[in-house]
Structure 1
Amino acid sequence: MTDFLAAEDRALLERHGLGTFDALWARQLDAVDEPNTVRGGWSSVFRLDLEGHGFYLKRQSNYQMRTLHAPFGEPSFAREFRNISRYEKLGIPALKAVFFGQRRVEGEVRAILLTRALDGWDDLDSLLRRWSELSGAQHSAILQACGKLARRLHAARQVHGCFYPKHIFLQATGDGYQAQLIDLEKTRPLLLGQRDRVKDLEPLTRRAPEWGDAQLRELLAAYLGQSLDSALIDGWLTRLTARRSHKEAR
């Protein structure tokens, strides 16, 4: 596979001698967390700052997964990069890729994925931790942004597969919030209609205990494009509650 380098970031990276796979692999940086390890491989994330622009540099070695695209295995970043590219083509708001490449070096499979940092954005998890400090107008704007994001995702016939508060990033705008997604590794096509949609949404509602029935109605009203008193929302609440009870009982 030919390396991908976003045209709008090429000049910046090249000014710092970071326009190639080898240069990005060799750059010494501090990891932002402990590396993930699996079957003798590893995957790690680093923060990279260049001229006021923030990036996350992800490197992995022998960290492979089997997919329909690569039944004998491929770096997990390869799948994530394909999904990032798919989201961009479909117009689903999500993180942006700056560089992707992979190499086989003396039997070792290496991969790099560089993405733009979402500086100035807050993940929903952090907003939920200070939910009581936010105004009612902010609550409504956040719920609407999340609902519309899910609606756009599913309208494009995609399932995120990990629709958790920590993977939804929001930024305040003049008239509300805009939202986008990260962590697209588990994305897949939406094949089973409402069943897939409920399955995708339920983890968000389960991981947001700060939201009561009134807040969930607002979320679903934005998702379904319905008024708050719609009977359609009642049916969705019933399905989400049933799935949540099933998951919590396991």
Structure 2
Amino acid sequence: MSDFIAPADRDILARHGLDSFDALWTLRLAAVDEPNTNRGGWSSVFRLDLGDAAYYLKRQSNFLSRSVLRPFGEPTFAREFRNIRRYQALGVPALQAAFFGARQVDGEHRAILVSRALDGWRELAGWLDLWRGMAAEQRSAILAAVAGLARRLHHAGQVHGCFYPKHVFLRDTQTGFEACLIDLEKTRPLLLGRRDRVKDLEALVRRADAWGVSEVRELLAGYLERPQNSAEVDDWLARLARRRRDKEGHR
């Protein structure tokens, strides 16, 4: 695969001499956290500020995922990049890729993924920390935005696979909240219908500790586009509770 550079980012990367794989690989930056070494290689994330533009530069070496189609493995960024492009084509709001490239150097699998920083956005987990001090109207607007994002995702035939509060980002606007997704590595097509949809939503709700039953009901009403006291919402509440019990029973 040849290197990808988003047209909107090509000029700014070129002005800073960062429009090539080698330049991005050798650029010295401080990592924003400890490298991930779970897969036998490593993967690191760096903040990249270029004047008025901000990005996150991710580099990895021998950090591979394997599948039936790729039994010998490929960099996890390759799969995430494909999913970013798929979301873009399907109209599902998500992080935007500025650059992607992969190389094999003396048997080492290297990959780079640069995405635009979500400055001005805050992860849902951060909003949940403030939940009890927020006005009811603001809480409802957040629930509506998250419900709309989940509905759009599933209507596009996709399952996120890690639909967690830390992977949902929100931005306050004059007309409400916008929502988008990050961390698309585990995204896959929605193949099992309602079962897949319940799986995504239960993963979100289980980690949203600030939400009670009333908030979950409001979320489901927005997702299903049904009244909060409808039989459909009651049914989905029961399905989420049953999946949660099943998950907890297998611990």
Q: For this structure pair, what is the TM-score category when the shorter chain's length is used for normalisation?
A: over 0.9
Q: Give the distance between the partners of 1:38 and 1:162, measured in 2 at CA.
A: 17
- Matched residue type, 1:112: I
Matched position secondary structure for 2:37: strand
Give distance in 2, aligned partners of 1:67 and 1:96.
Answer: 25
> Equivalent residues in 2 for 1:208-227 (5 A)?
208-227=208-227
Where structure 1 has 5 or more consecutive residues not aligned to the other structure, the ranges are none
Regions of 4+ moved over 2 Å: none
What is the CA distance between 1:44 and its match in structure 2? 0.4
Match of 1:116 in 2: 116
Question: What do residues 62-107 of structure 1 show as CA deviations (whole Å, max 9, x unaligned)?
Answer: 1111124422110000000000000000000000000000011111
Q: Does residue 92 of structure 1 match 2:92?
A: yes
Give the distance between the partners of 1:119 and 1:194, measured in 2 at CA.
Answer: 34
Residue in 2 that maps onto 1:41: 41
Corresponding residue number in structure 2 for 1:243: 243
Task: Quote the residue 2:3 is aligned against.
Answer: 3
TM-score (norm 1): 0.98
The aligned residue for residue 125 of structure 1 is 125
Residue in 1 that maps onto 2:190: 190
Per the alignment, residue 24 of structure 1 pairs with 24
Offset of residue 217 of structure 1: 1.1
> Following TM superposition, by how much is the alpha carbon of 1:247 offset from its aligned partner in structure 2, in angstroms?
1.6
SS at match of 1:112: strand
Written as runs of structure 1 = structure 2, the 5 A alignment for 1:46-125 is 46-125=46-125
**Aligned residue type for 1:175:** T
Mapped partners of 1:82, 1:68: distance in 2 = 17
What is the alpha-carbon distance in structure 1 between the residues aligned to residue 21 and residue 107 of structure 2?
17
Pairwise CA RMSD: 0.9
Partners of 1:38 and 1:121 in 2: CA distance: 29
Distance 1:132 1:66 in 2: 43
Farther off after superposition, 119-128 or 212-221: 212-221
Percent identical residues:
64
Residue 98 to residue 68, structure 1, CA distance change in 2 (3 Å)? farther
Deviations 1:19-70 (A, max 9, x none): 0000000100000000011353100000000012110000000111112442
Supply the distance in 1 between the matched residues of 2:39 and 2:185 (Cα, whole angstroms): 18
Query: What residue ranges of structure 2 are gaps of 5+ in the alignment?
Result: none
Secondary structure of the 1:28 match is coil
How many residue pairs get aligned? The number is 250
Matched, 1:173 2:173: yes
| Equivalences for residues 192-207 of structure 1 within 5 A | 192-207=192-207
Q: Which amino acid aligns with 1:15?
A: R
The equivalent residue for 1:233 is: 233
Q: Which residue of 2 aligns with 1:13?
A: 13
One-letter code of the match for 1:121? Answer: W
Q: Give the secondary-structure state (helix, strand or coil) at the position aligned to 1:36.
A: coil
Matches within 5 A, 1:145-156: 145-156=145-156
Alpha carbons of structure 1 residues 236 and 121: separation in structure 2 relative to 1, 3 Å: same
Task: Find the counterpart in structure 2 of residue 164 from structure 1.
Answer: 164
